[in-house]
Structure 1
Amino acid sequence: MNRHHLNRVAASCMIWASLTLPSMSQAQNKCEGSLTDFDAVYCYQKVFLQADKDLNTVYGKLMSALPGSAKNTLKTLQRTWIKDRDASSVIDRDGFKYVSVGRATQMTVTRVNELNDRLRECLSSGCRVALLR
């Protein structure tokens, strides 16, 4: 399965999820206690989506705080990081590709923390561009 096909499959899954999630049971809105496999996937997805939202928020704030030349540096670094996260989160097993939402979430939360550290630094004592990674 090529990358283009995987992107189409992922996009169609996300479209399906956005159309069907509002009609799912009330139990799925509570990610606690004993969960079915499908409920667990839904809950993991919710956590990932929140981490991704947090990442976009802190990235935007940091971009605003950085001096001009550092903005291009962060943009390049972030694009590389996204490619690495995505590649690290795909598992190839028995001819099938799986996405580890847990791995993607863990990496995203770590990145949010890294960018928050740089943002706090910029706001308090000045941006140290050399610390961007």
Structure 2
Amino acid sequence: MKAILCALTLALLAPVAAHAANECDKYRTSYDKTYCFARLFLESDKELNASYNELRGLVGDSTKQQLKDTQLEWIKYRNASCESSGAIDVDCNYRVNRDRAEYLRDRVRECKAGTCRNDMISKKSWN
């Protein structure tokens, strides 16, 4: 029941997040836009962590290690893509987190359907 409620909540939040991203465009100052995207980034980070942890709970130990290794590589990719001169592009972070969370949620759905594929879990989806 808890898993169904979590999945339903995430499904309902996805359109809200997309709408919210467009909402950041209405701000005129870079400070206000940055603040708006920072809030979205924090929410996307929560969703990413929830998807990652749910997937970890569905796979065996060897796949957990593969998932962890892939996630650490992805974090390096995200940081390299969204960081410049010591500054973080929060819009970039939001988009990259959102894409990764969606990829992990797809793997969760596959595992719950009994078609869990280790090769997809350890795939570098961002390349």
The one-letter amino acid paired with 2:108 is L
Deviation per residue, 1:55-75 (Å, 9 max, x gap): 000000000001221000000
- Residue 117 of structure 1: CA displacement? 0.6
Following the alignment from structure 1 to structure 2, what is the Cα–Cα distance between the partners of residues 45 and 113?
A: 19
- Name which of 89, 93, 109 aligns with 1:120: 109
Which 10-residue stretch deviates more, 100-109 or 69-78? Answer: 100-109
- Residue 35 of structure 1: CA displacement? 4.4
- Residue 105 of structure 1: CA displacement? 1.2
- Name which of 60, 67, 84 aligns with 1:91: 84
Give the number of aligned pairs. Answer: 100
TM-score (norm 2): 0.71
Please say if 1:77 is aligned against 2:70: yes
- Residue 31 of structure 1: CA displacement? 5.6
Please say if 1:61 is aligned against 2:24: no
- Residue 114 of structure 1: CA displacement? 0.5
Following the alignment from structure 2 to structure 1, what is the Cα–Cα distance between the partners of residues 27 and 62?
A: 50
Q: Which has the larger radius of gyration?
A: 1
Secondary structure of the structure 1 residue equivalent to 2:57: helix
Please say if 1:131 is aligned against 2:124: no
Structure 2 unmatched runs, 5+? 1-22
Question: Which residue is equivalent to 1:4?
Answer: none
Following the alignment from structure 2 to structure 1, what is the Cα–Cα distance between the partners of residues 24 and 93?
A: 19
- Would you identify which runs of 4 or more consecutive aligned residues in structure 1 move more than 6 Å? none
Following the alignment from structure 1 to structure 2, what is the Cα–Cα distance between the partners of residues 71 and 129?
A: 9
